[in-house]
Amino acid sequence: MAFGNNGQPRNQFNNAQNPYGQQPYAQQNYQNYQQPQYGNPYGQQQYGQQYGNPYGQPQYAQNSYGTAAYGQPVMDAQATYTQENYLKATRVSTAKAYGEMTAGLLVTAVVALLTQATGLLYTFLMAFGSVGLIGLAIVQVGLAVVLGWKVMSMNPTTARVMFYVYAALMGFTLSSIFAVYSLGSIVLVLAMTAGFFLCLTMVALTTKADLLKAGPILMVALIVLIVAELIMMFVMPGQTATMVISAIALVIFAGLTAYDAQFTRALFQQYAGDATMIKRVSILCALNLYLDFINFFLNLLQLLGSRE
C-alpha cells in the first residue's frame, strides 16, 4: 500500500512547446520621407520601406523594437523579458506543486493524530476486522491509480478533492505507527525525511545531469522490490529481512524523489500558458512527490524508529 505510485507515463514532457509563440516585431510609426539623393548604399529595406539613413540604420536607435544594421535581427529587451517571465512562471508553478504536496502531508498528519487521539482506527478494526482493512487498502490504491491515469483529463477541482481524500485515508491508516513507535522517534524521523527530501529536490533542480533517463530503471527497481518484499514475507519473515528491504527502498525512493523533481519542472515547461492543464499537472506532480515522501518516511522509520 505504501509503495503505490501513479502509472502516469514519464515521457509526457518531450517536445515541450514555446508558450509565447514566435517573437513579434513591434510596428514602428515612421513618417514618409522622400528618398535621399544617395539612397541606401546597402540596399536594405525595413518592411518594404526605404529610409533616409545613408548607413541603413533604423531611424530610431531602440534595439528593443527594431532591427540591427544590415537587416540582422537582434535579441531585444522584449525577448529577454519574455524569456525571464517564462522561467519565472515555471518556477512559480513548480513551487505550487510542492505546496500542494505539503498541504497533502499536513492533511495526513492531522488525520493521523486525530485518529490516534480518538481511537477511531481501533474502533474501525473492531467493527470490520481485517476485511475492512483490506477494503480500505483497495480504496487507497484505487484512488492513486485513478489520479495517476485520469488526472490530465479530469476537472481540476475534482482531482484536488480526490488527492486530499487520499491523503486523509493515508493518515487514517498511518495512525497505527503510534502504537508501534515512540512519538519522539516518529518526530525525529519525520524531520530527517523533510531534510533529505529538501536536499534531494535542490540537487535535482540545480544539477545539469538529466535524471529523467533514470525513470524507467527506477520504476523497474520499485516493482522488483515490491515483489521481493511479498516473497520474503512468506519465505524469510523477520526483522533482518525487513531492514534489508527498507534500506534498498530508501535508495530507490531517493532516486524517485530527484527524478520527480525534474519531471515536475519538465511538465510545467510543457504546459506553460495553459492555465487548466497547469492545475491538473500540479495535482499529478503533488501526488508523485507525496508518495515519494511517505514511502521515504516509512522506510526510514523502519530503520531508525524506536519501538515501544
Identify the CA nearest to 55 among candidates 69, 36, 34: 69
DSSP state letter for 49 = B
Q: Output the average pLDDT for the chain.
A: 76
Rounded CA separation 43/125 (Å): 87
Which position has the higher pLDDT, 290 or 125?
290
Which position has the higher pLDDT, 160 or 229?
160
Q: pLDDT above 70 covers what percent of the chain? A: 70
Question: What's the average model confidence in pLDDT over 126-151?
Answer: 87
pTM, 2 dp: 0.71
Domain ranges of the chain: 29-58, 88-304
According to the model, what pLDDT value does residue 86 have? 56
Question: What's the average model confidence in pLDDT over 121-129?
Answer: 87
According to the model, what pLDDT value does residue 82 have? 55
Q: pLDDT above 90 covers what percent of the chain? A: 36
According to the model, what pLDDT value does residue 251 have? 93
Q: Which of 59-68, 122-131, 267-276 has the lowest mean pLDDT?
A: 59-68
Task: Using the predicted structure, report yes or no on whether residue 36 has a pLDDT greater than 60.
Answer: no
DSSP state letter for 151 = G
Beta bridge partners of 248: none
Identify the CA nearest to 219 among candidates 32, 69, 3: 3
Task: Using the predicted structure, report yes or no on whether residue 211 has a pLDDT greater than 60.
Answer: yes
Task: Using the predicted structure, report yes or no on whether residue 175 has a pLDDT greater than 70.
Answer: yes
Task: Using the predicted structure, report yes or no on whether residue 18 has a pLDDT greater than 50.
Answer: no
The answer to whether the beta carbons of residues 253 and 295 sit under 8 Å apart is: yes
Task: Using the predicted structure, report yes or no on whether residue 280 has a pLDDT greater than 80.
Answer: yes
DSSP state letter for 39 = -
Task: Using the predicted structure, report yes or no on whether residue 28 has a pLDDT greater than 70.
Answer: no
Which position has the higher pLDDT, 197 or 4?
197
Task: Using the predicted structure, report yes or no on whether residue 154 has a pLDDT greater than 60.
Answer: yes
According to the model, what pLDDT value does residue 84 have? 59
C-alpha cell at 33: 520621407
Task: Using the predicted structure, report yes or no on whether residue 166 has a pLDDT greater than 90.
Answer: yes
C-alpha cell at 186: 516518529
Q: Which of 58-67, 141-150, 186-195, 238-247 has the highest mean pLDDT?
A: 186-195
According to the model, what pLDDT value does residue 308 have? 65
Identify the CA nearest to 268 among candidates 97, 133, 99: 97
Which position has the higher pLDDT, 85 or 227?
227
Rounded CA separation 308/254 (Å): 28
